[in-house]
Amino acid sequence: MLFEKETYVRYSEVDKDGLIKIDALVNHLQDIVMLHADEVGAGIAQVIDMGTVWFISTWQIEIITPPRIYDKIILKTNPYEFKGFFGNRNVWIENEKGEILVKANSIWVYLDVKTKVPKRIDDAAVKPYLPLEPKLEMSYSSRKIAMPENFEPSEPVRVHYGQLDTNGHVNNCQYIKTAMDVIEIKDMPRQIRAEYKKSALYGDVFYPYIHREEKAIYVDLRDKDNAEYATVVFEF
């Protein structure tokens, strides 16, 4: 089922050049997903009542033309596949002419609330999103990010209250924002990939590790024992 909402790029969402900030862009993509779920009766409260929750596993965001300050934008999303424990969903942004500015693919894991173990997706979870639409035309990356060698440690970053979502976990955009801040990203990337591995909570500490290439920067956010919270890749 295709879902769409019209909005605009706010002054508070742009950088010094008037382009939408990366974290604001990711928030728009996340918000349309959550709004769609709520509109069809499958929002946070409803799925928790069913004893389940959707946990994001991967974002792949392709930035074609960054929206600018006060641009009117149309956010669109549709789930296109449910299989095993995973639900796959496209999100994209169009301008008023119908031109696609941003394409994204997201993969979500269906979890049992009590055990935090993946649960096989049932008909009740799929029904609100029927009929499914075809997947968006884009170059799809693997759910898992292939990790290079030779990461260099950076300064630890403590999780604060402002990073938490309604589940009490660090919101998925905040991992990307933390990675951006660690490397002091200045240029708009061509693509962003994020793979989420475990949830961070208030008081946890991110230990960032960085790998730089000519056209890509990897940021691996780990805990003190070297277990990974998330990996974010910015491609230029």
In the chain the domains, ranked by start, together with CATH numbers, are 3-129 (3.10.129.10), 152-235 (3.10.129.10)
Would you state the structure tokens that stand for residue 67, as one six-digit string?
């929206």
The SS3 call for residue 34 is helix
Q: Which residue, 190, 198, 196, is CA-closest to 215?
A: 190
Residue 208 has a pLDDT of 98
Rounded to the nearest 10 degrees, how much is the dihedral formed by the CA atoms of 233, 216, 11, 16?
150
Q: Which tens digits make up the pLDDT trace of 105-151?
A: 999 999 998 898 999 999 999 999 999 999 999 999 999 999 999 99
For 87-106, what is the mean pLDDT?
A: 98
Distance CA 205, CA 46 (A): 31
For 1-21, what is the mean pLDDT?
A: 97
For 1-19, what is the mean pLDDT?
A: 97
Q: Which tens digits make up the pLDDT trace of 179-214?
A: 999 999 888 999 999 999 999 999 999 999 999 999
Q: Which tens digits make up the pLDDT trace of 71-90?
A: 999 999 999 999 999 999 99
Residue 221 has a pLDDT of 98
Write b or e for each residue in 39-63: b if 16 or more Cβ atoms lie within 10 A of its Cβ, otherwise e. Answer: eeebeeeebeeeebbbbbbbbbbbb
- Determine whether 168 is exposed, middle or buried from the number of CB atoms within 10 Å of its CB (0-12, 13-18, 19+): exposed
Distance CA 56, CA 108 (A): 4
